[in-house]
Structure 1
């Protein structure tokens, strides 16, 4: 059994849509980081290559083996909508943002990717990691990347999985038994 301990990166305090923009995480809540470290197994750590994940992984590494950063674990690419708020996008482009969120699996932000694009990319990265994993693996990633894997484990539609919360510095534990995925914990705050 391989267990993926998904950790969402620390908060960015951005108000807009943050996908591939390389913005920092604020990791000043040392108590939350200590609780997170104590909750996690002594397992290898891998992260998205974006700085908010890299620095969060650095903060919880604490002697754990570190795997190379993986760009396949990035957040959904919001393209031209990066760092813009929903209100800004709606004011400039009308209902396009509502249309996107009604069916993100079928729609893309301009010059971005759909939910299906993102889950395929992240799923391929996870499959590579699972093939090499021996037991537990800690993965520091993003809201969408984590929810995409929750969707995979639950086998539910995107509209249903988007109802789940994934808080900063939360842990979502998914297990792969060699045949299928299982959701063991979603959005656990240690």
Structure 2
């Protein structure tokens, strides 16, 4: 069995759509970082290659082994909508943004990727981890990447999984027993 301890990176305080933009995480809440560190198992740590995940992984790693960063674990690519607010996108692309939120599995921002594209990419990264890791693995990633794997574990439609909350510095625990996925905890705040 491989158990994934998904950790969402520290907050960025950005109000726009932050996908592949490389923005820093605020890790000033040292008490929350300490609780998170103490809650996690002694297991290898891997993260998305974006700085907000890398620095969060650095903060919780301590003596844990580190696996190389993986770009496959990145957030949804919002393309031309990167760092824009919903109001800005609504003003310039009202029909496109409505289509995107109505069916994110099929629609993408201009130059970006759909939910299905993202979950396929992240799923491949997770499958590579399953091939090389057994036991516990700590994965520091993004809201969309984590929710995509929750969707995989629950075998539910995207409209249902988007109702879940994934807070910054929360832990979502998903396990794969070799045949099926199990959602053990979603959005746990240590």
TM bracket, shorter-chain basis: over 0.9
Deviations 1:89-115 (A, max 9, x none): 001112321210110001010000000
Tell me by how many angstroms 1:10 deviates.
Answer: 0.1
Cα distance in 2 for residues equivalent to 1:136 and 1:11: 25
- Root mean square deviation, CA, Å: 0.5
Structure 1 CA distance for aligned equivalents of residues 145 and 128 of structure 2: 15
Deviations 1:89-145 (A, max 9, x none): 001112321210110001010000000000000000000001111200000000000
Aligned to 1:186: 186
Alignment pair present for 1:133 and 2:133: yes
**How far apart in 1 are the matches of 2:32 and 2:95?**
38
Q: Which runs of 5+ in 1 are unaligned?
A: none
1:62 is aligned to 2:59: no
Per the normalisation by structure 2, the TM-score is 0.99
Q: d(CA) in 2 for partners of 1:48 and 1:94?
A: 31
Residue matched to 1:25: 25
Would you say how many aligned residue pairs link Structure 1 and Structure 2? 190
Helix, strand or coil for the counterpart of 2:34? helix
Q: Which residue number corresponds to residue 74 of structure 2?
A: 74
Name the CA distance, whole Å, in 2 between partners of 1:26 and 1:5. Answer: 21
Query: 1:157 and 1:39 mapped to 2: Cα distance?
Result: 30
The match for 1:144 is 144
Gaps of 5+ in 2: none
d(CA) in 2 for partners of 1:120, 1:82: 20
The separation in 2 between residues aligned to 1:186 and 1:6, in whole angstroms, is 9
Structure-1 separation of matches of 2:105 and 2:18: 18
Once the two structures are overlaid, the 10-residue window that deviates more, 97-106 or 135-144, is 97-106
The 5-angstrom pairing of residues 1-190 of structure 1 reads 1-190=1-190
Q: Distance in 1 between matches of 2:184 and 2:103?
A: 27
State how far apart, in whole Å, the 1-side matches of 2:117 and 2:93 are.
Answer: 22
CA offsets 1:44-92 (integer angstroms, 9 cap, x no match): 0000000000000000001000000000000000000000001000011
Match of 2:100, SS? helix
| TM, length-normalised to structure 1 | 0.99
